[in-house]
Amino acid sequence: MTFLNFLISGISLGSIYAIIALGYTMVYGIAKMLNFAHGDVIMVGAYVCFFAVARYDLPPALGVLLAMFVCTMLGIVIERLAYKPLRQAPSLAVLITAIGVSYLLQNGAQLLWTSSPKVFPNFFKVADQTGVKLFDGQLNISYVTMVTIAACVIIMLALTWFTGKTKMGKAMRACSEDKGAAQLMGINVNATISMTFAIGSGLAAIAGVLLCSAYPTLVPTTGSMPGIKAFTAAVFGGIGSIPGALLGGLLLGVIEIFAKAYISTQLSDAVVFGVLIIVLLVKPAGLLGKQVREKV
Amino acid sequence: MARKLNRNLTAAQKTSYMCFFTYGVVILIYLMMQGLISSGSITSSLKGMLIPICAYIVMAVSLNLTVGILGELSLGHAGFMSVGAFTGVTAAVALQDVVSSNALRLLIGLVVGAIFAAFAGFLIGIPVLRLKGDYLAIVTLAFGEIIKSIFNNLYVGVDDKGLHMSMLSDKTQLREGGKLIIGGPMGIGGIQKISTFTAGFLLVMVTLVVVFNLVNSRAGRAIMAIRDNRIAAESVGLNVTKYKMTAFVTSAALAGAAGALFAMNYSTIVANKFDFNTSILILVFVVLGGLGNMLGSIVAATALTILPEALRQFADYRMLVYAIVLILVMLFTNNPKLKQVFNQFRTHNMRGKEAE
Amino acid sequence: MKKLFALVMAAVMTMSLAACGAKEEAPSAPAASAPAASAPAEGTAFRLGGTGPLTGGAAIYGNAVKYGAEIAVEEINAMGGIQFELKMEDDTHDAEKAVNAYNALKDWGMQISLSSVTSKPAEATSAENYADRIFGLTPSASSTATVEGKDNVFQMCFMDPNQGSASAQYMADKALATKVAVIWKNDDVYSKGIHDTFVAKAAELNIEVVSDTTFADGNDTDFSVQLSDAQTNGAELVFLPMYYTPASLIFAQAAGMGYAPKWFGVDGMDGILSLEGFDTSLAEGVILLTPFNADSEDAATKSFVEKYQAKTGEIPNQFAADAYDCVYAYKQALEAAGATPDMTAEELCELMIAQFTTMTFNGLTGEGMTWAADGTVTKSPKGMVIENGAYVGLD
């Protein structure tokens, strides 16, 4: 039973990583840049939702929508001002700019909302219960976990459909394969990439709300560590692969919890990263990543 | 002036000109600083930053070897700094009673730090260099985190029977008169501050000599060939793994020495200092200074270490301003349009100066 | 060619940077040397400096100290008599930045110091305090190494080991539990210091530590493993030597699991009730040893809490109160020693050492505080329990 409980904890942690990783992988897959500010967009989304619900008493659903709207706008503005001028620049330059944006968001949040932690309200309660208890309360599944997993699957399916079937989605895939050729085929590359950021940032808002519902302490640095872990998860599953992000996130969460439970709470991070290295050695492009052949 | 002189030089002459120009700049700045120190007109703030700046310069130049010359993105460079810091300080503390000269102990610390970091670089290099691109980057990140985790749980003590080590909890059982050097999450405390600015300057010079000589050697050209086209390099019979490893291990060793220098400038050091954020900070120095441009790394490391201190007058807005400056600098140096505007402004200014 | 051009530009930038540096140095240089060398013209106030994390993950503690100290300085300056000029510099909870901040304060002309807010930075800056002979009184850096071997650095807070053994002693005296679990932060000096002495003392007092688990930065969101380890090993009480941010997560997750042991916190737990949005029923019955209670009816505390709320909109925690006390302790010591603002830092240092080792101080965080020559404070921690969303004194 404890094993099952740990598995459930692992899945609930993993589903959070997965939902963040989906946003990461989406942006990476198309714009080919590591958006280190993604974690901080998550934080902004969580703050917006917190203020909407806890301070201005808006219904939670409206709070989430508002957070999505603000994050989408933020994503577009960041992209327009900081990343778009660097479209032709080496990818490392964009990486550093993203780090600058990350610092900017963190410090801006601290000035706006102070450094005192806020406790995020839990929306996912039924009759004052935060979860389902099975087998005389020995097994616990929280509603947040169920919602997060459902959200992950829905987002994953939606993204797969979007990139596979719609015109915009096809344009995105074209840009990711060859920007030059896409341009020649009449695709507006700039608009497509901006759109990717808008979607990625909107997803970040959902991730932020779910992250803070599961682990309710909200500070300006809330997004940074989960962001890095989710990035790891995205690579684990094969960066750029949408189902890979889901799988990578879930596995990372489960491994982390099992490492804590059965090896050592002190060395759990070392174990997680050790497993990651071994997996990458066996499958150098991640679990579900495409191995691209190099042409001469 | 410099532009005109160099118009007719060959590539080889240019590189060697670059080397000597860089050495010259470093020596000049060192002498200037020494002058300021001896005349007593330096602020405590600047004086306190001299040694960390030297350490960061060495970090940046060594990372530039991996990122700029070898062309592989490393996100765990601070891990090597950590290995160097902890092993170097341990050596210096353990030899406290044996070697009385501070300078010699510092030297031993630096060398030990470099050796251990090189060894760590070698171990890590075996799996890492088989990977490519972002996957390689994430594995270096993972190694950085693992090193941090290990040092957070490592206990090392010294007594008359030698060094004792244990993991997870303090099981060293030191005899009377023994001393716990590394105390897990407490890190190392009560370090004697034996690093000096001159030692830092010498380390920077050694680093530059090592890196420039490597880059301008046969091995260096091979490394750059691998960076530019691995398949072509392989096809002409270059041993890719060997050359990659040479660059990676050299870079790690230099970072280790920098770590030891850095640690012995503070009375206390913890494993958490050398985390992902520090690795990123060093990477920022490298990218800002220009890939493969060692002088650029030196300037960027110096400027970005001083910048947050110079911004103290902004109080609460300090880090916000820092972030904005960072973004703007990246935009101005990398966007073709903005760059053009900037260049026009520069040439205009220069012409004005020449006319004078 | 382009590279060379960039190089020249870089060199020009360095020069201009150096020029900027020189410009900045010019006005500050006389200020730096003046208070140390001779009587400054404006030297009517003691220059009091301190470093703390004003930005970054630990910013809440640094800002609490900053505001607490500011309130005390405003009050004292309004009284006439001794005047202070206060400057807090940001160290982002990092030893390197703390030394930089300390040096910036030295350039500013700091005469007496509040050392650093958090433990590891304070270990680094207190070594500088010792070398420069600038007296330091830290509000909240509680590790042993902060004061160890430094005759001129003193603490306003309890030392970590004392908290650990006091907590174990308290549990034994009140017979709270025989089986105890500890969850601590593995990469934090504060948490580690308390944990180690707690475990040692608990063994002496026949309290069995049945579960001993950790977490670390970046690994501080999910506590299900730690909690179920405590639960399966039958711990009746869980000891949490940590700050309140992770503790709030632990309470929420334990409630989700249906695990309800007794909770026991240390001074870092103080402040949990003022967390915005926190469901205080989760912390019902938490016992903590803390020197400060913001809900106290005592007039001095009430006035401090009011002023703090007016200034920041938040309820002060123990860090703020310790900082407030530090400034008042300085006032008392400076008055008793007959110190004047034109004295050098070194002269003040000797006077302060003499005062602090002999004086008795009453403040918000305790009555009849005294300091030993090694810099540690003696004051009695108050046992508090959280009942109906408020702290209630236990004794």
pLDDT digits (tens, 9 = 90+) for B232-257: 888 888 888 888 899 999 999 999 99
* Residue B343 confidence class, pLDDT cut points 50, 70, 90: low
CB contact under 8 A, C123 and B303: no
Share of chain B above pLDDT 90, in %: 18
C280 to chain B, closest Cα gap in Å = 31
- Average predicted confidence (pLDDT) for chain A: 85
The set of chains that have 3 or more CB pairs under 8 A with C is A, B
The residues in A 5-24 lying below 8 A from B, measured between CB atoms, are: none
Q: How confident is the model at residue B9, as a pLDDT?
A: 53
Q: Where are the alpha helices (DSSP H) in A115-166?
A: 143-165
B273 touches chain C (CB under 8 A): yes
CA dihedral C382, C387, C391, C395 (to 10 degrees): -20
Identity (one letter) of the amino acid at C195? H
Q: State whether B3 and C5 contact (CB < 8 Å).
A: yes
Q: How much is the pLDDT for C31?
A: 38
**Cβ contacts (< 8 Å) between C124 and chain B: which residues?**
266-268
For residue C185, what are the β-bridge partners? Answer: C215
Q: State which fold the C161-290 domain adopts.
A: Rossmann fold (3.40.50)
Q: Could you give the CA distance from residue B76 to residue B140 in angstroms, rounded to a whole number?
A: 5
Strands C262-265 and C287-290: parallel
pLDDT mean over C186-214:
85
Residue (of C316, C240, C241, C244) closest to C278 by Cα position: C244
Task: With cut-offs at 50, 70 and 90, classify the pLDDT of residue A285.
Answer: confident
The confidence band for C55, taking pLDDT boundaries of 50, 70 and 90, is: confident
Domain spans of chain B? 18-355
Could you tell me the fold of the domain covering A2-282?
ABC transporter involved in vitamin B12 uptake, BtuC (1.10.3470)
pLDDT at A136: 67
CA pair distance C145, A96, nearest whole angstrom: 37
Q: Rounded distance, CA B259 to CA C389, Å?
A: 48
pLDDT category at A1 given cuts 50, 70, 90 is low
Mean pLDDT of A33-45: 88
CB-based contact (8 Å) between C387 and chain B? no
Coil, strand, or helix at residue C89? strand
A100 interface with B at CB cutoff 8 Å: yes
A36-40 mean pLDDT: 89
CATH number of the domain at C46-158+298-380, out of 3.30.300.130, 3.30.930.10, 3.60.15.10, 3.40.50.2300? 3.40.50.2300
* pLDDT class of A41 with cuts at 50, 70, 90: very high
Answer yes or no: is the ipTM higher than 0.95: no
Give Cβ neighbours of residue A89 (< 8 Å, ≥ 6 apart).
B334, B335
Mean per-residue pLDDT for C1-22?
43
**Whether pLDDT at C12 is above 90:** no
Closest CA to C155 of C373, C331, C337: C373
Q: Which member of A99, A235, A277 has the closest CB to residue B134?
A: A235
Residue A284 and residue B132: Cβ atoms within 8 Å?
yes
Residue B175, pLDDT score: 67
Write out pLDDT tens, residues C256-298.
778 888 888 887 787 787 777 788 888 888 888 877 877 777 8
Determine the pLDDT at residue B215.
86
DSSP strand pairing (C179-185 vs C208-215): parallel
Q: What would the mean pLDDT of A173-199 be, rounded to a whole number?
A: 87
Which residue has better confidence, B287 or B8? Answer: B287
Angstroms from C87 CA to nearest CA on chain B: 10
Measured between CA atoms, the residue of chain B closest to residue C93 is: B273
How would residue C35 be classed by pLDDT, with cut points 50, 70 and 90? very low
- Give chain C's mean pLDDT: 80
Partner B contacted by A104 (CB < 8 A): yes
Average pLDDT score over residue span C97-111: 88
Spatial separation of the C-alpha atoms in residues A130 and C282, rounded to whole Å:
13
Whether C29 sits inside 8 A of B41 (CB atoms) is yes
Q: Are A78 and A197 in contact (CB under 8 A)?
A: yes
Can you give the length of chain A in residues?
Answer: 296
* Mean pLDDT on A165-187: 86
CB-CB: which of C4, C20, C100 is closest to B49?
C100
Does residue B167 register a pLDDT over 70?
A: yes
Question: Which residues in chain B are contacts of C217 at CB distance < 8 A?
Answer: 272, 275
pLDDT at C28: 37
**Cα–Cα distance for residue pair C123/C114, rounded to 1 Å:** 13
Could you identify the residue written with the tokens 């060697």? B16
DSSP notation for B62-99: HHHIIIIIS----S-HHHHHHHHHHHHHHHHHHTTTT-
Q: Would you state the pLDDT for residue C32? A: 37
pLDDT at C14: 45
Kindly give the residue spans of alpha helices, DSSP state H, lying in chain B: 2-6, 11-39, 44-64, 77-94, 102-128, 133-151, 197-215, 218-228, 230-235, 240-263, 276-289, 294-310, 318-334, 336-355
pLDDT of residue C37: 34
Contacts 24+ apart (CB under 8 A), A170-177: A172/A30, A172/A196, A173/A30, A175/A30, A176/A29, A176/A30, A176/A31, A176/A32, A176/A240
The set of chains that have 3 or more CB pairs under 8 A with A is: B, C
Query: What is the predicted pLDDT for the residue at B78?
Result: 92
Which residues of chain A make contact with B288, given a CB cutoff of 8 A?
Answer: 96
> Which residue out of B15, B16, B154, B186 would a mutagenesis test of the C interface target, given it has the greatest number of C Cβ atoms within 10 Å?
B186
User: Across the interface, do C20 and B310 touch by the CB < 8 Å criterion?
Assistant: yes
Residues 47-86 of B with CB under 8 A from C: 47-49, 52
Q: Is C220 on the interface with B (CB under 8 A)?
A: no
State phi, psi for B194 to the nearest 5 degrees: -105, -5
> Distance (Å) from the C-alpha of residue B331 to the closest C-alpha of chain A?
7
Query: Do residues B64 and B292 make contact, with C-beta atoms less than 8 angstroms apart?
Result: yes
Q: Which fold has domain B18-355?
A: ABC transporter involved in vitamin B12 uptake, BtuC (1.10.3470)
Q: Which of B127, B142, B338 sits opposite A273 (nearest CB)?
A: B142
Residue with tokens 């973004």: B327
Round to whole Å and give the CA distance between B93 and B99.
Answer: 10
- Quick one: average pLDDT of A56-77? 90
Residue C295 is predicted with a pLDDT of 75
Residue B3: per-residue pLDDT: 47
Q: How far apart are the first and last CA of chain A?
A: 55
CA atoms within 13 A of residue B254's CA, in its CB half-sphere = 30
% pLDDT > 70, chain A? 95
Is the predicted pLDDT of residue A198 greater than 70, yes or no?
yes
C-alpha distance from C249 to closest chain A C-alpha (Å): 7
Q: Is the pLDDT of residue A17 over 70?
A: yes
pLDDT of residue A295: 56
Contacts of A130 in chain C (CB under 8 A): 255-256
Q: How far apart are alpha carbons A178 and A216 in whole angstroms?
A: 42
Measured between CA atoms, how close is A138 to chain C, in angstroms? Answer: 8
| pLDDT score of B187 more than 60 | yes
Q: How far is C213 from chain A (nearest CA, A)?
A: 6
The yes-or-no answer to whether C46-158+298-380 and C161-290 have a common fold is yes
In which band, very low, low, confident or very high, does the pLDDT at A269 lie, cut at 50, 70 and 90? confident
Give one DSSP letter per residue of A14-51, joined into a string: HHHHHHHHHHHHHHHHHH----TTHHHHHHHHHHHHHI
pLDDT of the residue at A137: 64
Tens digits of residue pLDDT in B45-102: 888 888 999 999 999 999 999 988 888 888 889 999 999 999 999 888 888 777 778 8
- Cβ distance B139 to A286 less than 8 Å, yes or no, reads no
Query: Residue C56: what pLDDT?
Result: 76
Q: Which residues of B touch A296 (CB under 8 A)?
A: 231-232
A35 and chain B: CB distance < 8 Å anywhere?
no
Q: DSSP class of residue A121?
A: P
Could you say which residues from 128 to 157 on chain B have a Cβ atom under 8 Å away from some Cβ of chain A? 130-132, 134-135, 138-139, 141-143, 145-146, 148-150, 152-153
pLDDT at residue C1 is higher than 80: no
Q: In chain C, where are the structural domains located?
A: 46-158+298-380, 161-290
Lowest mean pLDDT among A41-45, A59-63, A209-213, C1-5: C1-5
> Among A11, A115, A145, which would you mutate to test the C interface (most chain C Cβ atoms within 10 Å of its Cβ)?
A115
